[in-house]
Amino acid sequence: MMASPSDNSISKITLSNVSTDHLKAFENVLSRIFSTDLAQLTYSQILDGLPVRDVWMVYAHYRSDIDQHHEPCSESIEIWKAFRDSFQTQKLQFNPRTVQGYQDTIPGTKDFNVRLIELIAVACHDTAALLYKIADGGVGTHAEKPPARTYLDHDGVPYPPIPTDFYHTEYVDWEQYPEGVADMVGYWAEFELFGGVVVFDRGESDTECKEAYIHSGGGYKLFQLSEKQLSAFAELGSQKSDPAIHDGEPVPFPFRAERYTHRVSEDDSMSQHIYRDKYERKAKIVPPWLMQHPRTRLEDEIVLLDVMEILKANDGKLPPK
């Protein structure tokens, strides 16, 4: 599902030919993710057909029908549990280049960890897209959706309505996605699970997988995952995959930016070869229904944060040089 549009003719492959160690690591990590309450909430919302209020208000504005929707319906949760418990990883299909990149790495290395999270991100994305198509509007019964507002651009031309309530504010170019609107839902699921869409430094060749970044959107900077974060995530692959064993245990996601990690403006990321697939985003034009304007998190402004802490520790004064 995740090849670029120009590569749609490429046949996808399963993980059947990767080494036992590589396959087991992948299966254990994916199983661990699927066992979490966060995954249940994320995927059951898709099956229900409507985001819950607390999730919706993170990326969108008040809407009367969603304001009354506090949790997914019980049927959607049961469907998710049945899907999860019968899930077979050998049915997942990937771009052969992605699979080969993973197979070529050595377990325990940074390269392995980066390639592992690449495969996991695609698997979680594709699972959301599949469930969206299976649900076909959702199994839940909801309050009547209010009429959609019409927004006009500077020339008075209406923006096209966004075709799903499950969207990441920076990944709405469904016309160019291989799976169309279903891929929008996949990016939304990544945001819910990982804190943003998982993207990579592809290098000058546009084929590498040098570093992993999280794109949370909303004008915030992309942040690089540290080796410590990648290792903690990959460590899930060495654990037993039985969800009951790890019930309630903390997991190292959604990810948060470490204080001094590398950050990249979302407007510059594509030109710096940081993405997962080139078709993900067009040149940025912000429709009014998305975030109003770029924002800055204090955690993205490290120098300012350091100065504020120095001032706090010195009664509002800078110490002498």
Kindly tell me if the per-residue pLDDT of 3 is higher than 50: no
Kindly tell me if the per-residue pLDDT of 31 is higher than 50: yes
Rounded average pLDDT over 26-33? 96
| φ/ψ (deg, to 5) at 11 | -75, 135
Rounded average pLDDT over 137-155? 89
Confidence of residue 155 (pLDDT cuts 50, 70, 90): confident
How high is the pLDDT of residue 301?
66
Kindly tell me if the per-residue pLDDT of 73 is higher than 90: yes
How high is the pLDDT of residue 159?
84
Instruction: Please report, in angstroms and rounded to a whole number, the separation of the first and last CA atoms in the chain.
Output: 57
Rounded average pLDDT over 120-133? 98
Residue ranges per structural domain of the chain: 7-141+158-313
Confidence of residue 134 (pLDDT cuts 50, 70, 90): very high
Q: Token pair 């979680």 is at which residue?
A: 124
49 token code pair? 């057909």
Beta strands in 167-271 (DSSP E): 197-201, 212-215, 222-224, 263-264
Confidence of residue 6 (pLDDT cuts 50, 70, 90): very low
